[in-house]
Amino acid sequence: MPLSSGHTNAVATLTVRVADRRHSPVDLATIRTITIAGTCPRCGGPRGEPYPYNFYDDGAWLVADCWDNPCGHVDLYNAVLAEAERGPRT
């Protein structure tokens, strides 16, 4: 089954690394690789191109991905983690 046609501006999905702090009582980040829709959940416009973001977290350098949506809506990590756990939108 093809993942996408490859001929549209919006990609079907994005695979990104995000920092998950939801389950740490001391706010430490766990990097998770998740797959999310390629479009903004609020307006349906395309999400921005992910780029790596290095940050220092309690003694270790970690890398996550950031992206800037052209529509201006901001995707918070907790929101995209929840989106990935809900599964693909239909």
Q: Give the count of alpha carbons within 13 A of 87, CB side only.
A: 1
Residue type, 2: P
The nearest distance, CB 25 to Zn ion, in angstroms, is: 33
For residue 89, state whether it binds Zn ion (rule: CB under 5 A).
no
48, 69 in Cβ contact below 8 A?
yes
The nearest distance, CB 36 to Zn ion, in angstroms, is: 13
Q: What is the footprint of Zn ion within residues 29-88 (CB under 5 A)?
A: 40, 42-43, 45, 71, 73
Q: Which is nearer to Zn ion, 48 or 62 (CB)?
A: 48
Q: Which is nearer to Zn ion, 70 or 88 (CB)?
A: 70
**Short-list 15, 23, 30, CA closest to 62:** 30
